[in-house]
A and B are shown apart, each in its own frame.
Chain A
Amino acid sequence: MGTWDSMTMISQSGRLHVLRLFCVLFVIVSLATPCFAEETMAIIVNRGNPISGTSEELNHLVARIFLKQQKDWPSDISCRTYDREKDSLEHQQFVEHILKMSEGRLLAHWGKMKQVSGETPPRVIRSSSILLRFIAKHKGGIGIVKHEEVKKLPSSIKVLFTF
Chain B
Amino acid sequence: MSRVVWCVGLPKEIQWSQSFFLSVLIMAWSLLLGFPSVGWTAESGTGFAEIEAQLESMQQRIESMRLRVDGLEHRNQDGAMNGSGDQSSKERYEELSERLEAQEDLSQELDEKVGSRAIVHAFDAMQLDFGGFLHSAFTHIHGDQGSASSFDRLTFEILLKAQFSRRFSAFFAQAFIRESNTRFTDTYQRTSPGFTFSGAGGVKTPLVIAWANYRHRDELNLQVGRYITPFGIINIEHFPAILLDTEQPQFLRPFSGDTIFPNFITGAQAHGKFFFNDDTLQYNVYTGVFTGSTPEQFYSGARAAYTVGTLGTTFGLNIGTGKRSLTTTAPDTTSVAKNATFYMYGVDVLIDKGPILWKTELFMTDEDKGAGGNRVGFYTQPAYRVSDQWIVFYRYDFLDDGKLQIVPSSGGPRRHTPGDSTEHVLGLNFLPVPNVRLRATATWKEFSSGRLGAPNANAQIFQLSGTFSF
Q: Which A residues have a C-beta under 8 Å from some C-beta of B?
A: 56-57, 60-61, 64, 69-72, 76, 78, 102-105, 107-108, 111-112, 114-120, 126-130
Contact = CB atoms under 8 A, between A and B. Distances in A.
Nearest to B282: A69
A116 B217 contact: no
A115 B129 contact: no
Interface residues of B, number: 40
Contacts of A128: 98
B106, B236, B278, B280 — which one has the most chain A CB atoms within 10 A of its CB? Answer: B278
Contacts of B241: 111, 115
Given A103-B388, A104-B387, A115-B469, A71 B171 contact: no
Contacts, number: 84
- Where chain A touches its partner, the secondary structure class is helix
Contact of A117 (B171, B217, B278, B431): B171
B388 A112 contact: no
A120 B163 CA distance: 12
- Top 10 nearest A-B pairs by Cβ distance? A104-B388, A118-B161, A127-B102, A115-B239, A107-B434, A126-B102, A118-B171, A112-B242, A60-B278, A127-B99
Interface in B302-348: 309
B129, B275, B385, B387 — which one has the most chain A CB atoms within 10 A of its CB? Answer: B275
A28 to B, nearest CB: 28
Given A107-B388, A116-B239, A130-B99, 15 more contacts: A70-B275, A102-B388, A103-B388, A104-B387, A104-B434, A105-B385, A114-B469, A115-B469, A116-B237, A116-B242, A118-B169, A120-B161, A127-B102, A130-B102, A130-B103
Contacts of B166: 78
A115 B387 CA distance: 22
Interface string B97-141: 011011101100000000000000000000001010100000000
Contact of B218 (A60, A72, A115, A117): A72
Contacts of A120: 129, 161
Contacts of A108: 242, 388, 434
B129 A118 contact: yes
Contacts of B99: 127, 129-130
Contact of B131 (A56, A102, A114): A114
21 contacts: A60-B278, A60-B309, A64-B275, A64-B280, A104-B431, A105-B385, A107-B388, A111-B242, A112-B237, A112-B242, A114-B131, A115-B159, A115-B237, A115-B238, A115-B469, A118-B160, A120-B129, A126-B102, A126-B106, A127-B98, A129-B99
B41 interface: no
Given A60-B309, A70-B275, A72-B218, A115 B242 contact: yes
A111 B169 CA distance: 19
Contact of A104 (B239, B309, B389): B389
B142 interface: no
A113 to B, nearest CB: 10
A103 B387 CA distance: 11
A135 B434 CA distance: 30
Contact of A70 (B218, B238, B387): B218
B424 interface: no
Nearest to B91: A152
B242 A71 contact: no
Contacts of B238: 115-116
A139 B194 CA distance: 60
B78 interface: no
A112 B389 CA distance: 16
B435 interface: yes
Contacts of B388: 102-105, 107-108
Contacts of A61: 275
B277 interface: yes
Contacts of B101: 127
B273 interface: yes
A116 B171 CA distance: 9
A11 B161 CA distance: 80
Interface string B179-217: 000000000000000000000000000000000000101
Interface in B234-280: 236-239, 241-242, 273, 275, 277-278, 280
Nearest to A113: B242
B86 interface: no
A60 B277 CA distance: 6
